[in-house]
Amino acid sequence: MITLSLVPTAPEVRGRALGLQEIAIGVMPFASRGLGAAAQSVGVGTTAFLSGILLVAVLLTLAARVPQLLRYSGVNVP
How does pLDDT run across 14-44, given as a tens digit for each residue?
888 889 889 989 999 999 999 999 999 999 9
Instruction: Please list the alpha-helical segments (H only) found in the chain.
Output: 2-6, 14-42, 44-65
**Farthest-apart Cα atoms in the chain, separation:** 49
Which region among 14-18, 52-56, 62-66 has the lowest average model confidence (pLDDT)?
Answer: 14-18
Angstrom distance (rounded) from CA 49 to CA 64:
23
pLDDT attached to residue 75? 66
The domains of the chain are located at 2-71
- Rounded to two decimals, what is the model's pTM? 0.65
Which region among 2-11, 49-58, 59-68 has the lowest average model confidence (pLDDT)?
Answer: 2-11
pLDDT attached to residue 53? 98
* 1 close to 17: Cβ distance less than 8 angstroms: no
